[in-house]
């Protein structure tokens, strides 16, 4: 017998409009959109019903794995805690970002990263998780050991996205050395001499490794059909390098020029939802709202605050910077398209019934009241 669910009396956030009505779900798929009021099914009381959000870049799982300095939490428990946080934030598909490529501040060696990736896969297979989990490897291409780390995970079955990062001082995210020095002084209590030594070592490492490591990892991703993302591109030269490698997603470009060049090259431009909620970048780079107003923003990511993704959707709609359907696409349909997930991200007949019920009053954070993945309510 087919499993059928009716959700009634909602404000459906469709791809181009908000429609009063409901849905009929059969075997985890949207079978019918039901306009108008209905006397049957679960009454959503006029709350919004959105497609489940698709998150491409969150490294919050690492914080659950290492909740305090010197503390390593059980991998499966950490995965479940992370899953609970993203699911109750309205995220039904999440790409868990794990870093490979170590430095003096890295909390996980590659063995722990491999174990965490295995725990994500095992927890998903065993039905422990509410959201649908994939892997995103954040590869620090300047690191001496990044190739070794990447090769240990490149055939992991959930790996669908790889970003190529280089956090050497004087470029990309850290092009402003004064701001970087202030940040490191505050976070790691570096002296001026320590900062100079740190910068010199990192720059030399980048000059030695970044170019060949980018090419090697990109080639292996293309062989396996893994989506490739650039990270913190600041100039047309950075974008040209990304294009030559086969990059499809531009993560967090730091200038309008880089964002425009990325878009013109056919890449999806991704920015952080916290940037939208706060109205500015935490590192002093270009504002996501400026990119949106310039028509250069495709995808939002919760980055370091999982709840910021749904919060940014309603922040944009409340401010009139986007329609609610348009803001929702930034966090659902567009990221799904960017990584080739054609079965989700929209409320439409034949697609997965990944859905979130949201109550919202203008000017206040939204409340995620219920979440369904493939028609099964889990939050």
Residue 110 structure tokens: 């590659």
Give residue-wise pLDDT tens across range 161-218.
999 999 766 565 565 556 565 566 666 667 777 767 777 777 778 878 998 999 999 9
Instruction: Please tell me the predicted confidence (pLDDT) of residue 175.
Output: 58
Residue 160 has pLDDT above 70, yes or no: yes
Pairing of strands 29-35, 132-140: unpaired
Q: Which domains does the chain have, with CATH numbers?
A: 52-343 (3.20.20.140)
Q: In the predicted model, what is the mean pLDDT of residues 25-40?
A: 93
Is the pTM of the predicted complex or chain greater than 0.95? no
Confidence class for position 70, pLDDT limits 50, 70, 90 = confident
Weakest mean pLDDT among 35-44, 49-58, 353-362: 35-44
Give the least confident one: 56-70, 175-189, 261-275: 175-189
Kindly report the length of the chain: 379
> Which pLDDT value is given to residue 282?
58
Question: d(Cα 292, Cα 119) in Å, to the nearest integer?
Answer: 37
pLDDT of residue 174: 60
Burial of 111 (0-12, 13-18, 19+ CB in 10 A): exposed
Q: And the tokens for 323?
A: 């329609």
Confidence of residue 106 (pLDDT cuts 50, 70, 90): low
What tens digit of pLDDT does each residue of 71-86 get? 999 999 999 999 999 9
Distances (CA, A) of 320 to 224, 309, 313, 314: 41, 17, 11, 10
- At 247 the pLDDT is 98
Measured between alpha carbons, how far is 70 from 356 in angstroms, rounded to an integer?
37
Distance CA 81, CA 64 (A): 7
């Amino acid at each position: 017998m087919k499993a059928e669910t009716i959700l009634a009396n909602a404000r459906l956030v469709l791809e181009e409009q908000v429609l009063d009505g409901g849905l009929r779900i059969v075997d985890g798929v949207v079978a019918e959109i039901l306009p108008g009021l209905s006397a049957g099914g679960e009454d959503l009381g006029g709350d919004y019903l959105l497609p489940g959000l698709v998150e491409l870049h969150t490294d919050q799982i690492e914080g659950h794995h290492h909740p305090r300095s010197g503390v390593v939490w059980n991998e499966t428990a950490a995965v479940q805690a992370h899953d609970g946080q993203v699911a109750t934030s309205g995220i039904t598909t999440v790409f868990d970002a794990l870093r490979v490529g170590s430095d003096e501040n890295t909390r996980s060696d590659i063995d722990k990263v491999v174990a965490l990736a295995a725990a994500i896969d095992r927890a998903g297979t065993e039905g422990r998780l509410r959201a649908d989990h994939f892997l995103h490897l954040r590869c620090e291409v300047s690191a001496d050991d990044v190739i070794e780390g990447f090769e240990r995970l490149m055939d992991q079955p959930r790996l669908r996205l790889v970003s190529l990062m280089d956090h050497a001082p004087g470029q990309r995210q850290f092009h402003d050395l004064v701001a970087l020095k202030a940040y490191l002084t505050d976070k790691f209590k570096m002296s001026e001499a320590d900062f100079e030594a740190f910068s010199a070592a990192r720059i030399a490492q980048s000059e030695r490794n970044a170019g060949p490591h980018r090419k090697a990892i990109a080639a292996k991703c293309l062989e396996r059909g893994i989506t490739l993302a650039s990270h913190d591109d600041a100039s047309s030269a950075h974008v040209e390098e990304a294009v030559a490698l086969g990059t499809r997603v531009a993560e967090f470009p730091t200038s309008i020029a880089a964002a425009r060049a990325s878009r013109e090259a056919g890449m999806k431009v991704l920015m952080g939802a916290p940037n939208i909620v706060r109205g500015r970048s935490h590192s002093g780079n270009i504002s996501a709202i400026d990119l949106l107003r310039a028509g250069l923003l495709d995808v939002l990511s919760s980055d370091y605050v999982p709840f910021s993704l749904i919060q940014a959707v309603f922040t944009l709609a409340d401010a009139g910077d986007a329609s609610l359907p348009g803001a929702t696409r930034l966090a659902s349909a567009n990221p799904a398209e960017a990584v080739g997930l054609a079965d989700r991200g929209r409320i439409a007949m034949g697609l997965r019934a990944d859905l979130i019920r949201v109550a919202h009053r203008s000017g206040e954070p939204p409340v995620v009241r219920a979440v369904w993945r493939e028609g099964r309510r889990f939050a």
